[in-house]
Amino acid sequence: MFPDDLKYTAEHEWVRTPGETAGSVRIGITDYAQEALGDIVYVQLPELGDAVTAGASVGELESTKSVSDVYSPVTGEVVARNEALDATPELVNSDPYGAGWLFEVAVAEGADTSELMDAATYESTVAS
């Protein structure tokens, strides 16, 4: 249910290392999160070049049920965003670990990623 090659946050984001850009990580939301949100109809992402801080809100996902913040799991600079979501935000629902990714961050030197969970730990967190 949760891919083993990813790291996870308590806020239901995932982190894939490496991202498509050298030195970056790709970020999205988990299948658990997209299911809880329902049909996603709008995605607001950080802009290229934005500085982001681990744990800080950097965007929003609007669904037919609610609006939910997106948090950056890492500190760094936004180096890519999934522009396809502007026209097809439902990709977050249909393929949260693939085509529905959100953005990439060039991780700041010395950034602490120790809070990220492996798949087994995240699964036990959402099961409780």
- What pLDDT is attached to residue 86? 96
Residue 18: per-residue pLDDT: 75
Name the architecture of domain 7-111.
Answer: Beta Barrel (2.40)
At residue 77, the pLDDT reads: 97
pLDDT at 21: 74
Is the model's pTM score more than 0.85? yes
The distance of Cα 77 from the centroid of its chain, to the nearest Å, equals 14
Closest C-alpha to 27, from 41, 6, 50, 4: 6
C-alpha dihedral, 75 to 43 to 62 to 117, nearest 10°: -30
**How do the domains of the chain map onto residue ranges?**
7-111
